């Protein structure tokens, strides 16, 4: 599978583990591919990545958005009830402004 093929799969938000299950790959492989894809998308004019960071369901602590894998436990309350980060790729809005009006 090519990394660009992930773009079509990530139109809806998914976690690394859900995507790995769907593709029958290891989560580590998927995480590595996604990390590289996210770096590439920073320079893309067509798409942008939206990462919803992992969050503790017990105390609400929000982890850094750069981590794609699910953390083991919350550093604040030490609970393991963690919501996995979700990744979505969407088309980038056009950077052009509205067309000038003709009079």
What is the residue-level pLDDT of the chain in tens, covering all 103 positions? Answer: 677 788 889 999 999 999 999 999 999 999 999 999 989 888 888 899 999 999 999 999 999 888 898 999 999 999 999 999 999 999 987 644 455 555 5
What pLDDT sits at residue 102? Answer: 53
Domain that holds residue 51: 5-91
Q: Residue 101: inside a domain, yes or no?
A: no
What pLDDT sits at residue 45? Answer: 87
Q: Residue 86: inside a domain, yes or no?
A: yes
Angstrom distance (rounded) from CA 54 to CA 70: 7
Q: Residue 102: inside a domain, yes or no?
A: no
Q: Residue 103: inside a domain, yes or no?
A: no
What pLDDT sits at residue 27? Answer: 92
The alpha helices in 1-103, defined as continuous H runs, are 5-9, 16-23, 27-41
Count of domains forming the chain:
1
Cβ atoms 5, 47 nearer than 8 A: no
Q: Residue 20: inside a domain, yes or no?
A: yes
| Residue 82: Cβ within 10 Å count | 18
Q: Residue 96: inside a domain, yes or no?
A: no
As a residue count, the chain comes to 103
Angstrom distance (rounded) from CA 89 to CA 47: 7
């Amino acid at each position: 599978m090519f990394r660009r093929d992930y773009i079509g799969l990530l139109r809806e938000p998914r976690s690394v583990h859900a995507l790995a299950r769907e593709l029958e790959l290891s989560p580590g492989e998927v995480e590595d591919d996604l990390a590289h894809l996210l770096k590439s998308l920073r320079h893309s004019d067509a798409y942008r990545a939206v990462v919803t960071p992992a969050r503790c369901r017990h105390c609400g602590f929000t982890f850094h958005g750069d981590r794609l894998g699910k953390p083991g436990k919350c550093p604040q309350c030490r609970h393991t009830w963690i919501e996995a980060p979700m990744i979505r790729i969407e088309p980038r809005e056009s950077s052009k402004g509205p067309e000038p009006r003709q009079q």
